[in-house]
Amino acid sequence: MAELLEPQASAPSPSLISTTLLVYALFGVADVTALASSGFPLIAPLTGLVEAIVDLTATGTTLRENGLVVREEIVTSTARLIANPVAHKLRADAVDAVVEGLRGS
């Protein structure tokens, strides 16, 4: 039976936890405890505290640096900046500066 432990401050979003439980269920793994970690979750498998983690990662570099391997990509996500059209007209310079800053230009 899948179980959700109460999240702590600075914990991952409930949607990440729900997705974790759903993915394990789809793989036929029913005995899962999803624990929201606000600390350094990468150390948990290395110390034997857990068998696996679900982590948000862009490149997997930190996982590899800690001797972990990406076993399955669950979802791919992207970020979007959505500007209010009125705000963009009134404050185009400020909004454009944010866009340029995000692009690293």
**47-94 tens-digit pLDDT:** 888 888 888 888 888 888 888 888 888 888 888 888 888 988 899 998
Residues 12 and 60 in one domain: yes
**Average pLDDT score over residue span 8-35:** 78
Q: Is residue 74 part of a domain?
A: no
Residues 52 and 96 in one domain: no
Residues 18 and 58 in one domain: yes
pLDDT > 70? residue 19: yes
Per the listing, tokens 């404050």 go with 91
Q: Is residue 23 part of a domain?
A: yes
Q: Is residue 70 part of a domain?
A: no
Strand partners, 4: 34
Domain count, the chain: 2
Q: Quote the CA–CA distance of 88 and 79 in Å, as a whole number.
A: 19
Q: Is residue 73 part of a domain?
A: no
Q: How far is CA 73 from CA 29, 44, 47, 85, in A?
A: 17, 20, 23, 35
Q: Quote the CA–CA distance of 65 and 82 in Å, as a whole number.
A: 34
Q: Is residue 37 part of a domain?
A: yes
Which structural domain range is residue 18 located in?
3-65
The pLDDT-based confidence of 3 (bands split at 50, 70, 90) is very low
Q: Is residue 102 part of a domain?
A: yes
> How is 73-104 classified by DSSP, letter by letter?
------------HHHHHHTHHHHHHHHHHHHT
Residues 60 and 86 in one domain: no
pTM: 0.56
Residues 60 and 19 in one domain: yes
